[in-house]
Structure 1
Amino acid sequence: MSTVAYITVRGLFGRRRALLLLPLPLLVIGLALICRSVGVDADQWGQAVVQGLGLAVALPVISLIVGTGVLGSEVDDGTIVHILTKPLPRRDIIIAKLLVAAGVSAVTSAVPLFIAGVLADSVKFGLALSAAAAVGALAYSALFLLLSLVTRRPVLLGLVYILIWEGLLGRWVSGTRVLSIEQYVITIADKLAPTSMLAGKVSVPVAVVMALIFAIGGTLFAINRLGSFSVAGETS
């Protein structure tokens, strides 16, 4: 499993796709620094930068780029056959890919959110955002990894989930929030360090349980889906 993880990391950072991970974190940090340096009150920019940009855009988009990249490209170009011919359980392959995706997404998202949280409020708030981002990265990564195995357009479907389900319906249709990873992250961060900048729309138990369901359920379905691939890389 460690070999698969190493190959995944090397492949991920050896592609131009890795460069796409930089703009959003830099934008979050840059906006926070600018607002803080010019003396704008955190109540006026904190929610827009931390929640509107960091949690609602940077975290899911970074997770989408990484989550669909750790396995999706191998499915598309047929090199998945080299992995499937190895004497490795499908479970180990998926878990290795998921850990890499979640780890990279968590670090890339948590660092700018921590900095923005410290600039907006306190170290405690920054740590709360980082912890919540790690939970969100795991749930998003499991979902997007699964999408890369069930469709040839995982990025498109991922964007539909982020922009339409979470971005549009999640803000106006209350029933959809139960299936919104963004809402779980906001609720967890707000519970760890309550501020006026965050307002979770689901309860803490729902946020924790549903995040686990996304993470575990997505992983199990991905393992099952990979198990349906033949050595030729086709689905049976």
Structure 2
Amino acid sequence: MSTVTWITARGLFGRRRFLMLLPLPAVLVALAVLCTSLGVDPREWGPPVLVGLGLAVVLPVVALVVGTGVLGAEIDDGTVVHVLTKPLPRWQIVLPKLAVATGVSAVTVAVPIVVAGVLADSVRLGVALAAASALGALAYSALFLALSLVTRRPVLLGLVYVLIWEGLLGRFVSGTRVLSVQQWVITLADRLAPTDLLTAAVSVPVAAVLTTLVAVGLTILAIDRLRSFSVAGETS
């Protein structure tokens, strides 16, 4: 498993797509610093920056780029054949890749979200946002990794989920918020550091249970789907 983890990390950091992870976190920090330096009330800029940008855009987009890349890129360029020919149980392939995707996404988001949280409210809020984002990164990564194995257009479907389901429908159809990773992250962060800057739409038990179910369920799906891959990289 350590070998798969190393190969996955090296491949991820060696691809140009990793550079796509840097602009959005930088914008998040820049906006937080700018609003603070201009003396804008945190109650005015906190929700749109922390939630509207940080949790609604930076976290899912970073997870989408990384989650679809740890295995999807190997499927696209055909190098997945070398992985599938190894005498390894499929879970020993999926779990390290999920761990890398979750770790990279969580760390990439943690730094800017902590800075923004501290500037908006307190160190406690910054740490709470980072911790909740890490759990969200796990759920998102499991989702996008599974998508890379069930469809040839995982990025497109991932964007549909993030932009349409969580973004558009999440604003106007309250029922969709129950199945929104973004809302789970907001709820968990607000539970760890209660603040007026965050508005939870689901209960803590629902957020915790659904985060766990999604992470575990989609990981099992990814493992099962990888078992159905032929050496040619096509699913049966």
Q: The TM-score by the shorter chain falls in which range?
A: over 0.9
What amino acid sits opposite 1:122 in the alignment?
A: S
Distance 1:201 1:147 in 2: 26
Deviations 1:158-201 (A, max 9, x none): 00000000001112111111110000000000111111110010
Give structure 2 stretches of 5+ with no counterpart. Answer: none
Give, in angstroms, the shift of residue 223 of structure 1.
0.1
Instruction: Please show how residues 13-92 of structure 1 align to structure 2 within 5 Å.
Output: 13-92=13-92
Aligned-partner residue type, residue 227 of structure 1? R
CA displacement 1:193-219 (0-9 Å, x = unmatched): 111110010000000000011100110
Specify the alignment match of 1:6 in structure 2: 6
How many angstroms apart in 2 are the aligned matches of 1:42 and 1:169?
A: 27
In the aligned structure 2, how far is the partner of 1:42 from the partner of 1:179?
A: 29
- Name the residue aligned to 1:116: 116
Matched letter for residue 71 of structure 1: L
Does residue 224 in structure 1 map to residue 224 in structure 2? yes
Q: What secondary structure does 2:26 align onto?
A: helix
Q: Give 1:234 deviation, angstroms.
A: 2.1
CA displacement 1:16-60 (0-9 Å, x = unmatched): 101000011000000000111111111110111001000000000
Cα displacement (A) at 1:232: 2.4
Compare 225-234 and 202-211 and name the one that shifted more.
Answer: 225-234
Aligned residue number for residue 168 of structure 2: 168
Aligned equivalent of 1:129: 129
In structure 2, what is the equivalent of residue 195 of structure 1? 195
Q: Which residue of 2 aligns with 1:153?
A: 153
**Counterpart of 2:209?**
209
| Structural RMSD (CA) | 0.7
One-letter identity of the residue aligned with 1:92: Q
Q: For residue 101 of structure 2, what is the aligned residue in structure 1?
A: 101
Provide, for residues 77-101 of structure 1, a one-character-per-residue CA deviation record: whole Å limited to 9, x for no partner: 2111100111111001000000000
2: CA distance, partners of 1:51 / 1:235: 38
**Structure 1 unaligned runs (5+)?**
none
For normalisation by structure 1, the TM-score amounts to 0.99
Measured in 2, the distance between the counterparts of 1:181 and 1:40 equals: 29
Q: C-alpha separation between the residues in 2 aligned to 1:57 and 1:145?
A: 18
The alpha-carbon deviation at position 110 of structure 1 amounts to 1.2
Secondary structure of 2:119's counterpart equals helix
Aligned length: 236
* Matching residue's letter, 2:36: R
What TM-score, normalized to structure 2? 0.99
2:233 aligned counterpart, secondary structure: coil
- The list of structure 1 runs, each at least 4 consecutive aligned residues, that deviate by more than 6 angstroms after superposition, is none
Q: Deviation per CA, 1:47-76, whole angstroms, max 9, x where unpaired?
A: 110010000000000000000000001111
Letter in 2 for 1:144: F
Q: Distance in 2 between matches of 1:65 and 1:48?
A: 23
Percent of residue pairs identical: 70
